[in-house]
Structure 1
Amino acid sequence: MSHIDPTVPPSLQADVTLVGGGMSGAVLALALAALRRPDGTPLQIVLLEASAPEQGPHPGFDARAIALAAGSCEALARHGIWPRLAPHASPITQIHVSDRGHPGQTRLTAAEYGLPALGQVIELSAAGQALQEAIAQTANIRMLCPVQLTAVIPGEQAVDLVLASQQSISTRLLVAADGGHSFVRQALKIPVRRHDYGQSAVIATVKTAEDPAGRAFERFTRGGPLALLPMQQGLSSLVWSLPGDEAEAVMALDDQGFLDQLQQAFGWRLGRFLRTGVRHCYPLALTAADYPLGQRTVLVGNAAHLLHPIAGQGFNLGMRDLDALCAALCHALAQGEDIGGYPVLARYWQCRQGDQEATIWLTSSLARLFSNDLAPLVAGRNLALALMARLPCLKEPLARQTLGFQPPFPARKE
Structure 2
Amino acid sequence: MTHTDPTASARSSALQADITLVGGGMSGAVLALSLAALRRPDGEPLQIVLLEASVLEQGAHPGFDARAIALAAGTCEALARHGLWSGLAPHATPITDIHVSDRGHLGQTRMTAAEYGLSSLGQVIELGAAGQVLQEAIAQTINIRMLCPVQLTGVTPGEQAVELILATGEQITTSLLVAADGGHSFVRQALKIPVRRHDYGQHAVIATVQTAEHPAGRAFERFTQGGPLALLPMQHGRSSLVWSMPGDEADTVMGLDDEAFLARLQQAFGWRLGRFLRAGARHCYPLALTAADYPLGQRTVLVGNAAHLLHPIAGQGFNLGMRDLDALYHAVANAMAQGEDIGSYPVLSRYWQGRQGDQETTIWLTSALAQLFSNDHGPLVAGRNLALSLMARASCLKGPLARQTLGFVPPITKE
Partner of 1:394: 397
Partner of 2:149: 146
Q: Which piece of structure 1 moves more, 47-56 or 141-150?
A: 47-56
Task: Give the alignment partner of residue 165 of structure 2, picking from 140, 150, 162.
Answer: 162
Report SS of the residue matched to 1:355: helix
How far apart in 2 are the matches of 1:397 and 1:26?
31
Partner of 2:387: 384
Q: Which piece of structure 1 moves more, 395-404 or 297-306?
A: 395-404
Partner of 1:208: 211
Cα contact 2:358–2:409 (8 A) shared by 1: no
How far apart in 1 are the matches of 2:122 and 2:273?
20
Deviation at 1:54, TM superposition (A): 3.4
Deviation at 1:63, TM superposition (A): 3.4
Cα contact 1:54–1:125 (8 A) shared by 2: no
> What is the TM-score of this pair, normalised by structure 1?
0.94
Partner of 2:34: 31
How far apart in 1 are the matches of 2:385 and 2:379?
10
Cα contact 2:108–2:388 (8 A) shared by 1: yes
Deviations 1:15-46 (A, max 9, x none): 00000000000000000001112222111000
Q: Which piece of structure 1 moves more, 399-408 or 104-113?
A: 399-408
Task: Give the alignment partner of residue 78 of structure 2, picking from 69, 75, 90.
Answer: 75
Deviation at 1:53, TM superposition (A): 2.9
Task: Give the alignment partner of residue 110 of structure 1, picking from 113, 123, 126.
Answer: 113
Deviations 1:283-324 (A, max 9, x none): 100000000000000000000000000000000000000000
Cα contact 2:313–2:369 (8 A) shared by 1: yes
Cα contact 1:50–1:145 (8 A) shared by 2: yes
Report SS of the residue matched to 1:204: strand
Cα contact 1:10–1:166 (8 A) shared by 2: no
Query: Is the counterpart of residue 241 in structure 1 residue 244 in structure 2?
Result: yes
Deviation at 1:408, TM superposition (A): 5.9
- Superposition pairs for residues 166-185 of structure 1, below 5 Å? 166-185=169-188
Partner of 2:349: 346
Paired residues, number: 398
CA RMSD, Structure 1 to Structure 2 (Å): 1.4
Partner of 1:332: 335
Deviation at 1:55, TM superposition (A): 1.4
Query: Is the counterpart of residue 312 in structure 1 residue 315 in structure 2?
Result: yes
% identical equivalent positions? 83
Partner of 1:254: 257
Deviations 1:215-249 (A, max 9, x none): 00000001000000000000000000001111111
Query: Is the counterpart of residue 132 in structure 1 residue 135 in structure 2?
Result: yes
> What is the TM-score of this pair, normalised by structure 2?
0.94
Report SS of the residue matched to 1:16: strand
- Superposition pairs for residues 178-193 of structure 1, below 5 Å? 178-193=181-196
Task: Give the alignment partner of residue 87 of structure 1, picking from 86, 90, 106.
Answer: 90
Cα contact 2:29–2:134 (8 A) shared by 1: yes
Segments of 5+ residues of structure 2 without an aligned counterpart are 1-11
1:83 counterpart letter in structure 2? S
Segments of 5+ residues of structure 1 without an aligned counterpart are 1-8, 410-414
1:169 counterpart letter in structure 2? I
How far apart in 2 are the matches of 1:305 and 1:252?
31
How far apart in 1 are the matches of 2:301 and 2:27?
13
Partner of 1:289: 292
How far apart in 2 are the matches of 1:17 and 1:357?
26
Cα contact 1:193–1:289 (8 A) shared by 2: yes
1:257 counterpart letter in structure 2? A
Partner of 2:360: 357
